[in-house]
Copies of this chain bind each other. A is one copy, B any other.
């Protein structure tokens, strides 16, 4: 009664026969609505006969089609009454912005297809205080690099936001070596300067990592870690929201990875800040140091 039926079907997909799988797929493709009609409708949609449907739901553990539907309805009921679903249905009822819907979908899809190892690996790399971090972004994504640098600087030392005139970049490139990690934000159209910077850094032995769109920046060829994000929205612009979500998860991850040191640094900074600007109201704990 507790486990979602959809998961059960997915896990046990191999137990079914060939035509039963057709039934399973038809149901999953339009879950759970496909199971709420008649057996004949279900059978037609799956391209099989009615008895096959019955055998399918029998193998799932239901004594009859009626019980199967009852389970579907009760699942649907609790799902639709959850606060999360409520806000979702209420929104598009009263004309929720389709743009916002697409934004949410992008973030969700981005993390659904993000290789878990890549994310964890990059977090560990960024948390390594023996490395020096260099963050850089393109025309639009530089704000993200800046945002992330502002947080990481509080959590750890050796964080550098590569910004400003292109001429300055050369200075930063000069000292780079195996102890440096470069995190690049880059979406199309991929700026040649960024690519050149990445290539130069890699040539000097620095580890290059990349947060990009699904089409993948050319930097991806030389990067050790690549995190692709969805950017398409109903607008002439691409959306960087999913990139930002990745940035925030990275920030949280690095903070978690090095919790006690991060806290110490936060407190020291807090004290420093109060000494410099006593007008600012003080708080002993909290994030915004």
Contacts and interface: CB of A to CB of B under 8 A. Distances in A.
A111 interface: yes
Interface in A69-91: 69-70, 73, 76-77, 79-80, 82-91
A150 interface: yes
A152 to B, nearest CB: 11
B73 A84 contact: no
Contacts of A148: 143
Contact of A237 (B76, B234, B252): B252
Interface in A144-202: 144-148, 150-151, 187-189, 191-192
B77 A33 contact: yes
B36 A73 contact: yes
A108 B84 CA distance: 9
Nearest to A143: B147
Interface of A: 4, 6-7, 30-31, 33, 36-37, 69-70, 73, 76-77, 79-80, 82-94, 96-97, 99-105, 107-109, 111-112, 139-148, 150-151, 187-189, 191-192, 233-241, 244-245, 248-249, 251-252, 255-256, 262, 266, 277, 279-281, 283, 286-288
